[in-house]
Amino acid sequence: MPEFATQPVAPMAITFDPAAATLTPSGPTLTRRMSDLEGLFADTEAWREAAEGENPIVYEVVSSPVPEADRELPQSITTIHPGQVSGEFWMTKGHQHPNHQGEIYLGIEGVGGLLLFDGEQRRYLDMAPGVIGYIPPGWAHRSINTSDQPYSFLAVYPGSAGHDYGWVLEHGMGHRVISADDGHALIDFSPTGAR
């Protein structure tokens, strides 16, 4: 296990800098490029062109040193850069927790959305600085940047929850979030249609 994740974890103070979207001390940083988001955008040709061309960084996740382990509460800050693929806003991969547990997101910079789907019900929450989005157990969730500025949020979740990205590829998220004259719009999405 990496040094940052060695258990037992001692009590610690973690400095949260919302302006810089950092946690100190920090754990690992995950970087997702366009090529990592295969199967998520409706326009697969436009996605492929971006992934095989510039392959931009779509989002980054900076973690605290708290490990993803049973009874721990890890924290992370995700920053989604602004962008679109054929009018569909840049987003996180989205996941469901295999060990169904709740999670909270706190908007810290920019504006975006939190898309939730439990396989039947669909919800969309507008996110902005100071807004807490609550994700109940069993709901898949994805974050979207709906602006032309970076969108960052803090996540706090049970360390044993896990991340199932395949569930989203199989079931979809119920909606897609696209650009519209007044900001953004939701369109219905079925995983049997174009992804």
State the average pLDDT over residues 163-171.
Answer: 92
Provide the domain limits for residue 91: 10-188
CATH number of the CATH domain containing 69: 2.60.120.10
Using CA atoms, how far residue 194 sits from 39, 43, 96, 109, in Å, is 9, 8, 21, 32
Q: How many structural domains are present in the chain?
A: 1
DSSP 136-183: -TT-EEEEEE-SSS-EEEEEE--TTS--BHHHHHHH--SEEEEEETTE
In a domain, 4, yes or no: no
- Output the pLDDT for position 8: 74
pTM value? Answer: 0.92
pLDDT tens-digit map of 72-113: 999 999 999 999 999 999 999 999 999 999 999 999 999 999
For the cut 50, the answer to whether the pLDDT of residue 29 exceeds it is: yes
Q: Where are the alpha helices (DSSP H) in 12-133?
A: 44-52
State the average pLDDT over residues 160-183.
Answer: 92
In a domain, 3, yes or no: no
Out of 28-32, 112-116, 180-184, which region has the weakest mean confidence (pLDDT)?
180-184
Residue carrying structure tokens 């049970």: 158
